[in-house]
Structure 1
Amino acid sequence: MSTFDSTKLPLPQVLSDVTSGVIQLPDFQRGWVWDDEHVKSLLVSIARSFPVGAVMMLDTGGDVRFQVRPVENVDFNGPVPEPEKLILDGQQRLTSLTQVLALDKPVKTFNEKGKAISRHYYIDIDIALEDDRLEEAFISVPDDRKIKTNFDRDVVLDLSTRELEIKNFFFPCSQILSSDAWEEDLHEYAPEKFGKFMAFRKNVLTAFRSYQLPAITLGKATSKEAVCLVFEKVNTGGVPLSVFELMTATFAADGFNLRDDWYGSTLRSVEGRYHRLSQEPILRGTEPADFLQAISILQSWEKRQADIQADKKGKMISAVSAKRATVLSLTLQDYEKWAPLVEEGFMLAAKFMRKECFFDGRELPYRTQLVPLAAVLSQIKERWLEPKVHDRLSRWFWCGVLGELYGGAVETRIANDFEDLMPWLLSDPDNESNERNGSLPRTISEAAFQESRLDTLRSRNSAAYKGLNILVLREGARDFFWKATIKELADEDTALDIHHIFPRAWCEDNGIKANIYNAIVNKTPISYKANRMIGRKAPSEYLAALQKHTQVALDDEAMNDILTTHRIPADLLRANDFHAFYAHRKAELLRLVESAMGKSAQLDQTGVLANSGKEE
């Protein structure tokens, strides 16, 4: 059965429906943005009876309810009426035509620089009747209906009264759909021009009055997910419609301002959830969609538990879900029930991340992995601090990071992880059969780390790269220059970065390829001061310089201890043996990975040395 109708609607009827409130906008539609030139171009197209594209609308009165608003510049004498249709596509065109053709007041538009301006639109009748000059005939004039030159000292066209409009023979576009009053005044002020006006009415005005606008109307039964998808497919504004915007419009229909609840409102002195979450640096940048996903997990999990308890006897049991359709099906009651718990869950997630040595949102490998984590913690609360529960949660987290399983579309993984983690975390930790009988969370079972991945990790934006850097830091890596750990320097806002251990210039001079020396194996976090002293020098040279110029002069043994905190083999570094160093440090980093994931890495057939960067 078709869920939409396609037809053609008379333009005058559509604009009448807009001004009467029969047709309005859903609140998730963004504002009107067309400039003066766009408006004039649209008018010319209709005057020439050219197609201007179909509009798409949604019938109201179904289960999907949105907060609505009138088209820009449309006012009502009484309360705003209930609309029968909502504009999904064609907002810019319908708003332009409504303001120009159906409202007797200035059009609020923009100039070529984006500055807001008010304009009245006219047609130069004489030019409009000339062949191939219709585009030049449409003009816009300022609010006072006067065009001036010489720094506004000289008026070159004055259309400020009906008499002046007629004598200058400029027709107001606001009279296009009904010109009776203008024609009566034409008889009074310039009857000699009436014959020419009739030709204009036939050639130009009739094109507007008889114009048929293609329209697609989605029926009342259209789901919220379908509305969202259709809107994104047809909207040409360049910005996709977010779940948050759609839910904001939905909840607003029930009198709840989701935007204020999330972002807060200075007008109402309301502090939003985003502000409270952002007190934790690791949670800065949390998206409202992440928060809604966590709620959808808990709501769908509760429903699944109820289905299981009810013993449906062969009937389908609902699934735990973080998919868009599930988020869009949330009711205001669902949000109000779960939002406080989810907020608490995110705050507990921040504490967990600190324990794993993540302290800033920029260090976070995957923001999406916080969603199932927050949902789980909202349920188990402080039990995550129990050593064996924490160890399991940590193992799951690092398998997701180092297995690089949370990139791209992860809605299914998010839901599966929550459902897997809830029974596993709280099951008997002493029962080793849990792992043997396949009860491990899928992310742990599916995670794999290939030894050769260490050779290809070069981008500091990749999840595994960020994760490995943190694994080194939480081992207590100390700076080459300052008498402090890297973590202590970070807390004091000392300039830090991840730098080459064997300097890039030295590697190039010694024939080491860029794809090898840029790998994470040859990088480690150090201060700007240490990096400046390293420069282009060979390791044996810069180590001697560092030991001499550190705050307290260091002997070889003390410097070697610092290098060891970075899992750097000191003897091989001092020997300037890049290939042996590379193989040894790669093996050390691999041990860190295996310890965090609780499973062995997948070794390459050729072995460690084959990937050390040595030329054949």
Structure 2
Amino acid sequence: MGFSTPSYDLIYLFNRIDRGDLQLPDFQREYRWDVDRIRALLVTVLRGYPMGSIMALDTRGEEMRFRPRPLFGAPDTGMAPGLLLLDGQQRLTTLYQCLTGDGLVESVDFRNKKIKRRFFVDIQKAVSAEVMPDEAVISVDQHGDVKSHFAKNDIPRLATEEDMLRHQCMPVSSLLQNRGTDMLFDLAQNAEPDARERIKNFHNTVLKPVVRYSVPMVRLDRETAQEGVGSIFAAANSSGLQMDVFELLTSLFAAQDPDFDFRADWHKTEEVLRQFPALDQIGQTEFLTAVALYVTAVKGHASGHREDILKLSVADYQYAAPLIRAAFHEAAHYMRERCIMSIKQVPYSAQLIPLTVIIALLARDPKNMSHKDSWDRLNQWFWCGVFGELYGSPALAVRMGVDVDEVTRWIDDANNPSPSVEKPQSIRDARFVESRLLSACPESGLYKGIYALLMGRGARDFRTGMAFDHTNFEQLGVHFRPVFPESWCEEHGINLVLSSSVLNRTPMGRRTHVMVEGASPARYLVRLQSKSLMDDAEFDQVLATHLADPHALFAGQAEEFFSDRRSKFLTMIEEAMGTAAIRDVDEGDLTAGEEGPLAFEK
């Protein structure tokens, strides 16, 4: 792959757009810039400042790999383009619309209301300072009413050429046309000497420079690989209206099979995903990543990088997509069985992608998941990912691929274990440090994992004695609430590290929480037990399902409760991960430790 960096003036670029020689690949999003950004770009160009480079792919003499379409507002000539614009669509389309034709641009205002605007340059203001003032560019609606707040009083309307000449305002759309020069001659003809000097100055400092204004282009060679184009495009657009691979595949699939409606197929996927709130963060890119992981795993080694998605053929997709849809359905049920019902409870949505692919691959042989050992292994990998916080990083493509290969092989081996099949790297890598129990915040995967695991292990509602599950979760209004109210802890001098930690949280129904009223468990548990009609042994058993010491709670002994619960939480996590935790809590300084509060920025 190679590239060159020529520069082209605006007239040359606009002529290529008009001829259909410079177009967009169809995966580009529609043009959409608000009026303030449009005006700011015009000010930049009219000042002669650089607007940044654009990027295009040379397609001359090549078979069209991406379906082309004209820039918004440009004529559809039906011809194959010689250049496809990859980066700079919004800027170049803005300039094309403002500086050609009648200059009327469809846009939105700051409230996202649809509007139409033309832009004018106030000649007097444009040359009133060494650098053209921002307010020299005026926006006007399609009826000629001035909309720029800084110009309304002086110039109420610019509907006719007579208005324009009277107020010495030139349409931006005339600057690159003969009409612009003609207007300046008309203005200068009967003008006073001072006015004539301003017009001459405008011609030299605004009109002539904009005619010569050139835009640098990164021009990619024709030999650039298709997947390379996708990666380059994504990187170039990372700071603007970022595109994802769905738009790219829409165009690629349309070129391969015009009869395949990719968007309609995505709607089928959405119908499945949106049935389960826990899958709310699974969108187009996540689904396509799962498809790519599955397809590549079947062929050899799983890989879900952007390039792997772009290499998918229509046949690959049509084969794998229904299987992945069904597997996401199963993954949602897997999460539900572990009392993870809503997106707020999901420790790491990214982990759902390899989980889904692993389920899909194992489903090829029904015997794979017919034994308890198989489920135990899947559960161990899942909880190692959660409590090892392995899926909290944004760079997860490699881990996903390795997990799909290794975990699938390891679970497949459960029925007839072989010494040659090692535990997956993720399980070997996962470690849990005790002091993390004192630093984890509510947004962390660890926090959410403990919430889910407590319920999954049978935590029961204090008031009704019902075990929390998907059938009563919404009805009971369950949340992860403080056992010792934080206000009570503050009044009684309990260390903030303890009172604000996950150790002080437990699943609690709405009606249970109402009875807490900021009181110690020593008070509110008595009221709850009387409402529950449970005897002492039964009620103590309910408290024990929360890994809570009934004696410490009824005695209001917060510090004893936290110490006991920390030990029980560690045991719970060790059992889930299948590995020993690292004990490092310093009783003399709860903020210390490898993973303690002091190890994290506030």
TM-score range, shorter chain: 0.7 to 0.9
CA displacement at 1:328 relative to structure 2: 2.6
Deviation of 1:44 (Å): 5.0
User: Which ranges of structure 2 fall in alignment gaps of 5 or more residues?
Assistant: 593-602
The match for 1:370 among 349, 352, 357 is 352
Task: Kindly report which structure 2 residues correspond to 1:263-302, keeping only aligned pairs within 5 A, or say none.
Answer: 264=267, 272-302=268-298
Confirm or deny: 8 A CA contact 2:140 2:158 kept in the other structure: no
Q: How many residue pairs end up in the alignment?
A: 576
Task: Tell me how far 1:101 sits from its aligned partner.
Answer: 2.5
Give the 5 Å matches for 1:295-314. Answer: 295-304=291-300
* Counterparts in 2 of 1:45 and 1:520: CA distance versus 1, 3 Å: closer
- The corresponding residue for 1:69 is 69
Query: What's the CA shift for 1:568?
Result: 1.4
The alpha carbon displacement at 1:295 in A equals 1.6
Which residue number in structure 2 is paired with residue 500 of structure 1? 482
TM-aligned CA distance change 1:329 to 1:609, over 3 Å: same
For residues 460-505 of structure 1, the C-alpha deviation after alignment (integer angstroms, 9 at most, x for no partner) is 3322222222222123222222342233773452222222223323
CA distance 1:503–1:4, shift in 2 (3 Å): same
Give yes or no for the alignment of 1:403 onto 2:388: yes
The aligned runs of 1:352-367 (5 Å cut-off) are: 352-367=334-349
Indicate conservation of the 8 Å contact 1:282/1:361, yes or no: yes
The answer on whether the counterparts of 2:297 and 2:404 sit within 8 Å (CA) in structure 1 is no
2:3 equivalent to 1:9: no
Closer, same or farther in 2 for the Cα pair 1:369/1:43, shift >3 Å? closer
Q: 1:258 aligns to what?
A: 262
Cα distance in 2, alignment partners of residues 468 and 148 from structure 1: 56
Does the Cα contact within 8 Å between 2:483 and 2:505 map onto a contact in 1? yes
- Please list the CA deviations of residues 278-320 of structure 1 after superposition, one character each: whole Å capped at 9, or x if unmatched: 223433332222211122122222332xxxxxxxxxxxxxx43
Alignment counterpart, residue 573 of structure 2, candidates 578, 593, 607? 593
Please say if 1:561 is aligned against 2:541: yes
Q: Give the conservation status (yes or no) of the 8 Å contact 1:118–1:142.
A: yes
CA distance in 2, matches of 1:364, 1:507: 29
The more displaced of 340-349 and 82-91 is 82-91
The TM-score with structure 1 as length reference comes to 0.81
Give the 3 Å change call, closer, same or farther, for CA 581–58 of structure 1 in structure 2.
same
Task: Report the CA distance shift for 1:301/1:202 in structure 2 as closer, same or farther (over 3 A).
Answer: same
Measure, in 2, the Cα distance between the counterparts of 1:239 and 1:444. Answer: 38
1:542 partner amino acid: Y
Distance 2:172 2:465 in 1: 77
The 1:39/1:528 distance shift into structure 2, 3 A limit, reads: closer
SS at match of 2:463: coil
Amino acid of the residue matched to residue 556 of structure 2? N
Distance of 2:472 and 2:352 partners within structure 1: 23
Partner amino acid, structure 1, of 2:73: N
In the other structure, the counterpart of 1:310 is none
Partners of 2:215 and 2:314 in 1: CA distance: 37
Partners of 2:483 and 2:571 lie apart in 1 by: 19
Distance (Å, rounded) in 2 between the aligned partners of 1:185 and 1:466: 68
Which structure 2 residues correspond to residues 534-573 of structure 1 after superposition, within 5 A?
Answer: 534-548=516-530, 550-552=531-533, 554-573=534-553
Query: Would you say the 8 A contact 2:497–2:591 is kept in 1?
Result: no
8 Å CA contact 1:12, 1:177 repeated in 2: yes
1:147-166 pair list within 5 angstroms: 159-160=159-160
Contact 2:272–2:329 (CA<8 Å) still a contact in 1?
Answer: no
1:466 maps to a residue whose letter is K
- Deviation, 1:146, is 6.5
Shift of 1:17: 0.8
What is the SS of the residue equivalent to 1:486? coil
Q: Given the alignment, which residue of 227, 240, 243 partners 2:242?
A: 240
Match of 1:394 in 2: 379
Partner of 1:323: 305
Report the alpha carbon displacement of residue 562 of structure 1 after superposing the two structures with TM.
1.5
TM-score (norm 2): 0.83
Q: Of 75, 93, 96, which residue of structure 2 is paired with 1:95?
A: 93
Distance in structure 2 (CA, Å) of the matches to 1:168 and 1:609: 78
Contact kept, 8 Å, 1:19 with 1:102, in 2: the verdict is: no
1:92-491 residue pairs with structure 2 within 5 A?
92-104=90-102, 106-111=104-109, 114-123=112-121, 138-145=137-144, 159-160=159-160, 171-179=170-178, 183=182, 204-224=206-226, 226-235=228-237, 238-254=240-256, 255=258, 256-262=260-266, 264=267, 272-304=268-300, 319-381=301-363, 382-383=366-367, 384-408=369-393, 409-427=395-413, 429=415, 431=417, 434=419, 439-457=422-440, 459-487=441-469, 490-491=472-473
Deviation at 1:114, TM superposition (A): 4.7
Deviation per residue, 1:239-263 (Å, 9 max, x gap): 433233333343344434433321x
| Kept after mapping to 2: 8 A contact 1:167/1:190 | no
The equivalences for 1:38-53 within 5 A come to 38-40=37-39, 42-53=41-52
How far apart are residue 111 of structure 1 and its match?
4.8
TM-aligned CA distance change 1:175 to 1:354, over 3 Å: closer
Residues 5 and 217, structure 1, Cα contact 8 Å, conserved in 2 = yes
For residues 530 and 105 of structure 1, the distance between their equivalents in structure 2, rounded to whole angstroms, comes to: 64
CA contact (8 A) 1:244 1:289 kept: yes
Give, in angstroms, the shift of residue 119 of structure 1.
3.6
Provide closer, same or farther for how the CA distance between residues 184 and 438 of structure 1 changes in structure 2, counting only shifts above 3 A. Answer: closer
- Conserved in 2, the CA contact under 8 Å of 1:583 and 1:609? no
> 2: CA distance between counterparts of 1:441 and 1:287?
27
> Identity rate of aligned residues, in percent?
31
User: In structure 2, the residue corresponding to 1:454 is in which secondary structure?
Assistant: helix
Structure 1 pair 63–412 and aligned structure 2 pair: CA distance change class (3 A): farther
The 2-side partners of 1:280 and 1:97 are apart by 45
* Counterparts of 1:302 and 1:169, CA distance in 2: 70
**For residues 252 and 397 of structure 2, what CA distance do their matches in structure 1 show?**
22
Separation in 2, partners of 1:450, 1:533: 35
User: In structure 1, how many angstroms separate the alpha carbons of the residues matched to 2:473 and 2:84?
Assistant: 53
2-structure distance, mates of 1:363, 1:352: 14
Give the Å deviation of 1:338.
1.3
Structure 2 letter corresponding to 1:209: V
Shift of 1:273: 0.8
Q: d(CA) in 2 for partners of 1:295 and 1:18?
A: 37
Corresponding residue of 1:584: 564
Rate the CA distance shift 1:250–1:193 in 2: closer, same or farther, 3 A.
farther
Letter matched to residue 13 of structure 1: Y
- Structure 1 pair 132/531, CA: closer, same or farther in 2 (3 Å)? same
Cα 1:320–1:237 shift into 2, 3 Å:
closer
Q: 2:509 aligns with which of 510, 527, 533?
A: 527
Counterpart-to-counterpart distance in 2, 1:157 and 1:505: 63
**Higher alpha-carbon deviation: 514-523 or 123-132:** 123-132
In structure 1, the residue matched to 2:582 is 602
CA distance in 2, matches of 1:388, 1:148: 71
Indicate the SS of the match to 1:582: helix
CA distance in 2, matches of 1:426, 1:406: 23
Contact 2:497–2:590 (8 Å) recurs in 1: no
Q: Distance in 2 between matches of 1:541 and 1:125?
A: 78
Q: Deviations over 1:367-399 (max 9, x none)?
A: 222222221222222442432322222222222
